[in-house]
Structure 1
Amino acid sequence: MVLLLVVDLDPDLAALRPLGAFFVLRTIGGTPGTARPALPTLAQVYENRASDVYRKSVTFRVEKVARVLRAPEPRVAASIAHQGLAARLWSVALGCAVLYGRVPDLSARRLRWDPDASAPDDLWLEAVEPLPGDAGTIADVVLRGHLEPLTAALHAEYRLATGLLWGNAASALAGAARQLGHRPGLSARARALSAELLAHPLLAGTLDSTTLRRRSCCLYYRLPEGGVCGDCCFTRAPRSSPRGTSG
C-alpha cells in the first residue's frame, strides 16, 4: 500500500503522530486552548539570551544528560545531547517533507525548547507556516538555522571536535530516514531526501557512502554502560583514556 501525501500542513501536524515520539511536534495555537509555554526559543538558546531560569540552556541540558547517563566527563554528555536535538529536528523536517510534501517553518525563532524535559527533546512550534519540502529548504532550516549555531556553541563550550558534531548530525539524519523507511510508501522519498542532504558540504564525508557508518565517534562508548552504536566507526569499544582520543 502506498501512502498518499497529505495536501496541506494541518495546524496540529497530526500526520506525524503515528511515526513515533521523535517525529511529533507540538504546536502553539494548533489545538484550541493550547497555552503558550514559558520556554526559550532556540534562537535565544543559541545566543544565550534566554530568561534567567534558562539563561544557560545548553549547559543546563548537558548537565541534565550527564546526571541521567552518569557521563564521566561533560563533553560526552554534550555530544549525546547534541545528537538528541539533531535527531528531533531531522525527524520533524523529514517526516513533514515525506508525508505532506512540505515542511513548516522550523526557524530557531519559532521553535521553543524545554531543556529540562526527558528524551526525546520537547519542542513547540509557534505557528505552522508552510515552506517547500525539498532538500535545499530543509538544509537551510535545519543545518544552517539550527545545527550550525548549536555546533559552534558546543565546540566553544566543550571543545568537542566539529567533525564529531557533524558526524552526529549526519548519523541523526540517517537514523530519521531509516525510521521513515519502515513505513509503507515512505521509504523511497526518505532515502532520496537524506541522500541529497548527506551530500551537503557540511555533512559530506561524515558517513561512509556505501555503509553509512560514521567516520567519527559520538563518545557513547564512554558511558558506564555504553558500547558502540550500530553505525560507529569502531567495531568494538576502544580502551578509554582519561580524556579519550576518539573525538
Structure 2
Amino acid sequence: MSSPAPPLPALVAARFAAETVAAGTPGWWPAAELSHGRLAAAVAAERAARGAPSDAVAGSLLVLGYSRLLGWPVLGGAVQEGRWPDPALTGVSVRAERDRVIGVGFPDAAPRGGDVGRALAALLDEHLDPLVAAVHALTRAPLRVLWSNVAAALAGALLALSWTLPERAGMAAPTRSLLDAEPRLRGLVTVAVSAQGGEDWMRVVRRGCCLAFRCAPPHGHWCGTCPVLDEAERERRFQEAAARYRVLEAWA
C-alpha cells in the first residue's frame, strides 16, 4: 500500500493536501487544547452549526470531520510517497471559526517515513485516541459511534486513493486487512467491491450511524454508506458517487 498512486483530481487532491503551520502562527492553536480546554466550546459550535439536538450528536460529527481533516493528508502521504506529516497531538495545530474547527495544520518539521500501517498507528495512538476519549467523557456519545466515525473517515481516504488506480478496487483487500488488524477499528466498516461502468470499485459501508440524520435541515440526512439505509439505496448512492468521480477525472 505504499506504492505510488496516480495523481488525484484537483477537487479530491485538496482533501489530501497537508498545510504546514509553524507553532505560534496567529489564528492557530495547539491541537492538544482541543482535548483540554477548548473542547466544550468546539462541541457547542458544532451543535449550533449543524442544528444538532444534543452534545452527543455534535461530538460525533466533530470527531468525524476532525478525523478527515487530520487523517487524509497523513494516509495520502503514506500511500503515495511513503512519507507523511507528523500527526502527534503535541505538534499539530487547529484553526477554528467562532470556535468551530475548520482546519488542521501540521508542524514545520521533517515528515515521518513508513508504510500506511505505521501512519495509521500514529494517527490513533498519538492523536485520535485521546480525542475520542475526551469527546466521550464530555458528551457521552457512545464510544462505538465515535470509533465508527474514525474508521469511516480513514477508510474513506483509502477508498479515494483506490479509485485513482487502474484497478479501482486495488486497495480493497489491503484496507480490509489494515482495519481488521486494529482492534479499535475492527468490524466498524465493511470494505467491499461493487461494479460500476464495467469495472470493480472499492466500496465502504458503515456498520454504525454517525447520527447526522438527527440534525436540523439542511444538515440532517442519511449518509450514502449508512447502515440504516437498505442495500439497494446504498448501492444506488455508490453508483452515483462513482459516476461523479469519473466526471472529476475527465475534468482533471
Fold agreement, TM-score > 0.5: yes
Report the counterpart of residue 243 of structure 1 in structure 2.
none
How far apart in 2 are the matches of 1:102 and 1:44?
Answer: 26
Secondary structure in 2 matching 1:208: strand
Residue type at the aligned position of 1:42: A
Call closer, same or farther: CA 1:144–1:4 in 2, change over 3 Å: closer
Give the counterpart of 2:130 among 149, 162, 165.
149
* Deviation for aligned residue 1:18: 6.4
Instruction: Describe how 1:156-175 pairs up with structure 2 within 5 A.
Output: 156-175=137-156
Report the counterpart of residue 220 of structure 1 in structure 2.
212
- Report the more deviating stretch, 79-88 or 117-126: 117-126
Contact 1:16 1:24 in 2 (8 A): no
User: What is the TM-score normalised by the length of structure 1?
Assistant: 0.74
Contact 2:86 2:112 in 1 (8 A): yes
* Deviation for aligned residue 1:186: 9.2
How far apart in 1 are the matches of 2:127 and 2:9?
Answer: 21
Structure that is richer in helix per residue: 2
How far apart in 1 are the matches of 2:106 and 2:167?
Answer: 24
Give the counterpart of 2:44 among 37, 53, 63.
63
Identity level (%): 29
User: What is the TM-score normalised by the length of structure 2?
Assistant: 0.73
Give the counterpart of 2:185 among 203, 217, 224.
203
- Report the more deviating stretch, 91-100 or 174-183: 174-183
Query: What RMSD in Å do the two structures reach over aligned CA positions?
Result: 3.1
Instruction: Describe how 1:1-247 pairs up with structure 2 within 5 A.
Output: 4=4, 19-28=12-21, 36-46=25-35, 48=36, 56-116=37-97, 121-184=102-165, 191=172, 194-199=175-180, 200-210=182-192, 212-225=204-217, 226-235=220-229
* Deviation for aligned residue 1:144: 0.9
Q: How many residues are treated as equivalent by the alignment?
A: 214
Deviations 1:163-205 (A, max 9, x none): 1111111111121122223324696775465334312111001
5+ residue gaps, structure 1: 7-14, 49-55, 237-247
Deviations 1:55-79 (A, max 9, x none): x322222222222221122211111
